[in-house]
């Protein structure tokens, strides 16, 4: 049936690379990706803020239905991040405490729901990473259809199975599999440069002359120097 299938994931970022990216803020990485990728402002951490990092296992499902999400929980490998595109609809919750507890028991790294969750109090107190667009007490259906390990998109951010998924308090980011090493090198350098800037601020030595230079370059009229 079209739109109702389970595909095989052909590749995934390595556990070593996942651990390296864990040390970098999502904002630094986003800057090094030309600020062109984001999971959308609606997808917020619903848990205690613990970092999210791991290769994507993708699910596309009919809004309000979680049958294929249950199947994905059984297919996922330890360290995987289950990314569910449920159309962004908030009418019915896709997951709750039982499913997140089961996912955590299997070593899954986290769950992203482009849709709603329930049992938000228990999830908020948990260290198991859950990102979602909203909360409702209304439960899901289990009829399908859906696709596991197909391409999904969250607010324009395309995610292929095996891509690296990162999440912190600022939101979600997908690192394409083929670009992960290059992006890590650039983001690591960016983070190191920001650490230097913070040290200069703490020492009262930050040079902000670039601000006036940029304003002059753009043609802004500045007050005459006295």
Residue 118, annotated ligand binder?
yes
Residue 49, annotated ligand binder?
no
| Residue written as token pair 């951010």 | 157
Residue 64, annotated ligand binder?
no
> In 3-state terms, what secondary structure has residue 42?
coil
Question: Which contiguous run of DSSP H or E holds residue 198?
Answer: helix 180-202
What is the C-alpha to C-alpha distance for residues 133 and 9, in angstroms, rounded to an integer?
Answer: 26
Residue 171, annotated ligand binder?
no
CB 91 within 8 A of CB 62: no
What is the C-alpha to C-alpha distance for residues 192 and 184, in angstroms, rounded to an integer?
Answer: 12
Please state the residue numbers annotated as binding site: 96-99, 118-119
Please state the residue numbers annotated as binding site for substrate: 96-99, 118
Please state the residue numbers annotated as binding site for Mg(2+): 119
């Amino acid at each position: 049936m079209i739109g109702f299938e389970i595909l095989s994931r052909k590749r995934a970022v390595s556990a070593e690379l996942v651990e390296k990216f864990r040390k970098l803020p999502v904002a630094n990485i986003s800057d090094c990706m030309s600020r062109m990728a984001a999971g959308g402002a609606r997808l917020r951490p619903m848990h205690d803020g613990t970092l999210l990092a791991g290769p994507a296992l993708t699910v596309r499902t009919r809004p309000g239905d979680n049958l294929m999400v249950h199947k994905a929980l059984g297919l996922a490998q330890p360290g995987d991040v289950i990314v569910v595109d449920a159309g962004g609809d908030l009418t019915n919750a896709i997951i709750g405490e039982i499913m997140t507890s089961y996912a955590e028991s299997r070593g899954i790294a986290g769950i992203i729901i482009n849709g709603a969750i329930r049992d938000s109090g228990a999830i908020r107190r948990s260290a198991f990473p859950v990102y979602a667009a909203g909360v409702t007490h209304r439960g899901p259906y289990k009829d399908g259809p859906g696709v596991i390990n197909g391409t999904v998109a969250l607010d324009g951010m395309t995610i292929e199975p095996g891509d690296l998924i990162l999440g912190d308090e600022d939101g979600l980011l997908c690192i394409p599999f083929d670009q992960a090493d290059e992006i890590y090198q650039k983001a690591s350098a960016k983070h190191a440069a920001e650490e230097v800037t913070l040290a200069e601020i703490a020492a009262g030595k930050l040079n902000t002359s670039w601000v006036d230079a940029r304003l002059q370059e753009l043609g802004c009229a500045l007050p005459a120097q006295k």
